[in-house]
């Protein structure tokens, strides 16, 4: 199953090209929307037309000229773009509540729950079963990440290494460059990057796919460049009401992947768990009370 996370995704890869085919006048009308999507995403077609000093029919014609089947589909695209290009300032300013400290704390927890619920509602368990099979069939599992996503890469590496799987993590531009140079069609590449996508991660996925590796992207929006460069993509929201991204849903996605991998060869996993249990009970690295 390849890149079918959202209905309007097929229109986005050619969006820049479609904009070039618009008349100069229509390009100028649409430009403020694409440059500042958060300011327009909630507007009705009539309100948007008034703000841009044009008429609703012109907005609809522009939207269709961009390849969207309806204004509602265009709004969904704007929503995804606003997520992809969100900054720490944007997320802090988006919060509501009564402005008190307890209110901000509650908002943060509620947003995490919303992100987790979104993941639960959208995640196809059968896709994870198919992915687990690839984990065991791969010659190597290569995880690409950078910035804060490094923590997710190392979390996945630590857990999968318990099962003895051949996993390698690359979190710097140089390491990614050298590691993907040797991948081939027998390898599985996991690229993790959110919002606009970190250059080193996206370019690493591009090169890995050119060399034949099966590439899986993990992001928070279907307009992520990973949605175009990978064979398939899994989405987990990082929406936050604070200055930093929330990784509650991405960590939950990692746990779901690990659950699928662990259960795929349950007998083998149980045998390894028995060995681990002995160390966890009596190992010297544990503090003795």
Phi-psi sector, 214: left (phi>0), alpha (psi -120 to 50), beta:
beta
Q: What's the confidence (pLDDT) of residue 10? A: 40
pLDDT tens per residue across span 191-203: 999 988 999 999 9
For residue 2, pLDDT over 70 is answered with: no
For residue 289, pLDDT over 80 is answered with: no
Instruction: Tell me the pairing of strands 167-170 and 188-192.
Output: unpaired
Q: What's the confidence (pLDDT) of residue 96? A: 59
Q: What's the confidence (pLDDT) of residue 170? A: 97
Report the pLDDT averaged over residues 260-271.
94
pTM of the full structure: 0.80
Residue % of the chain over a pLDDT of 70:
92
Calculate the average pLDDT of the chain.
89
CATH topology for the 120-281 domain = Rossmann fold (3.40.50)
Q: How far apart are CA 153 and CA 251, in angstroms?
A: 10
For residue 260, pLDDT over 50 is answered with: yes
Q: What's the confidence (pLDDT) of residue 81? A: 83
pLDDT tens per residue across span 80-120: 888 777 777 777 676 655 678 888 888 999 999 999 999 99
For residue 78, pLDDT over 70 is answered with: yes
Q: What's the confidence (pLDDT) of residue 98? A: 64
Considering the segment(s) 9-87 as one domain, its CATH architecture is Orthogonal Bundle (1.10)
For residue 236, pLDDT over 90 is answered with: yes
For the purposes of burial, counting CB atoms within 10 Å of the CB of 211, is it exposed (0-12), middle (13-18) or buried (19 or more)?
A: middle
Q: What's the confidence (pLDDT) of residue 14? A: 63
Q: What is the largest CA-CA distance in the chain?
A: 75
Q: What's the confidence (pLDDT) of residue 200? A: 97
Within 10 Å of residue 276's Cβ, how many Cβ atoms? 12
Instruction: Judge contact between 224 and 176, C-beta under 8 A.
Output: no
Q: What's the confidence (pLDDT) of residue 4? A: 40
Instruction: Judge contact between 208 and 218, C-beta under 8 A.
Output: no
Instruction: Tell me the pairing of strands 188-192 and 141-144.
Output: parallel
Which of 162, 158, 165 is CA-nearest to residue 141? 165
166 against 195, higher pLDDT: 166
| Least confident window among 2-11, 75-84, 98-107, 247-256 | 2-11
Domain residue limits, the chain: 9-87, 120-281
Q: What's the confidence (pLDDT) of residue 122? A: 94
Q: What's the confidence (pLDDT) of residue 241? A: 87
Instruction: Judge contact between 198 and 149, C-beta under 8 A.
Output: yes
Q: How far is residue 103 from each of residues 67, 96, 173, 247, measured CA to CA in Å?
A: 42, 9, 40, 20
């Amino acid at each position: 199953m390849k890149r079918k996370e959202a209905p309007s995704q097929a229109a986005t890869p050619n969006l820049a090209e479609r904009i070039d085919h618009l008349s100069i006048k229509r390009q100028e009308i649409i430009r403020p929307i694409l440059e500042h999507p958060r300011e327009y995403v909630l507007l009705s077609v009539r309100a948007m037309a008034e703000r841009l000093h044009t008429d609703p029919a012109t907005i609809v014609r522009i939207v269709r000229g961009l390849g969207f089947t309806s204004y509602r589909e265009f709004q969904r695209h704007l929503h995804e773009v606003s997520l992809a290009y969100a900054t720490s300032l944007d997320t802090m300013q988006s919060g509501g509540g009564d402005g008190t400290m307890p209110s901000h704390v509650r908002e943060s927890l509620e947003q995490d729950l919303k992100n987790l619920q979104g993941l639960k509602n959208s995640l196809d368990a059968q896709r994870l079963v198919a992915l687990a099979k690839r984990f065991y069939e791969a010659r190597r599992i290569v995880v690409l990440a950078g910035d804060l996503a490094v923590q997710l890469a190392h979390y996945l590496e630590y857990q999968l290494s318990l099962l003895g799987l051949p996993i390698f993590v690359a979190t710097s531009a140089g390491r990614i460059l050298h590691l993907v140079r040797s991948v081939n069609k027998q390898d599985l590449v996991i690229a993790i990057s959110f919002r606009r996508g970190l250059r080193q991660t996206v370019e690493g996925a591009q090169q890995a796919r050119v060399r034949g590796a099966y590439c899986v992207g993990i992001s928070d929006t279907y307009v992520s460049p990973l949605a175009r460069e990978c064979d398939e993509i899994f989405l987990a929201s990082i929406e936050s009401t604070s200055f930093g991204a929330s990784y509650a849903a991405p960590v939950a996605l990692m746990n779901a992947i690990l659950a699928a991998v662990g259960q795929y060869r349950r007998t083998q996993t149980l045998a390894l768990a028995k060995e681990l249990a002995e160390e966890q009970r009596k190992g010297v690295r544990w503090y003795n009370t």
